[in-house]
Amino acid sequence: MAATAQAREMLQIAAVAADAKGGEDLVALDVSEPLPLVDIFLLVTGRSERNVAAIADEVEDRLIEAGHKRLRREGRQEARWVLLDFGDLVVHVFHEQERVYYGLERLWKDCPVVPVELPAAAPAE
């Protein structure tokens, strides 16, 4: 089973929000085959605890504005690895050290990558 259209729409909203707050190395994985209750994991890296918190807050705000319900949020206090569970989409916002340490890409390497479309950066003048 592949990720639903709704999960892909949520992914797009979350990715644009993460990118707007300086999120780096965005990777989306279709985990619908091994996980029956989740379609997509979005992995994002922040450069500092403050950046991780800002990315997570922006993603959460944009998804809620779009009418999606957050089921769970974990890790906001420490802001080293914030997990946002929106049902079909689970967003993992990592501090760079935690991203390397936990290596979710390695754990889920058999899952297909979902393309993420981000707005083109404005050219520097």
Q: List per-residue pLDDT tens for the chain, 125 residues long.
A: 688 889 999 999 999 999 999 999 999 999 999 988 899 999 999 999 999 999 999 999 999 999 999 999 999 888 899 999 999 999 999 999 999 999 998 999 999 999 998 877 655 55
Residue 118: per-residue pLDDT: 84
> Whole-prediction pTM value?
0.91
Angle of CA points 92, 48, 125, to nearest 5°: 100
Rounded Cα distance between 49 and 106, Å, is 23
- Which three-class secondary structure state does DSSP give residue 87? coil
Q: Is residue 85 within 8 Å of residue 71, measured between CB atoms?
A: yes
CATH of domain 5-114: 3.30.460.10
Token pair 């707050």 is found at: 21
C-alpha Rg value of the chain to the nearest Å: 14
Alpha-carbon distance of 9 to 64, in angstroms, equals 13
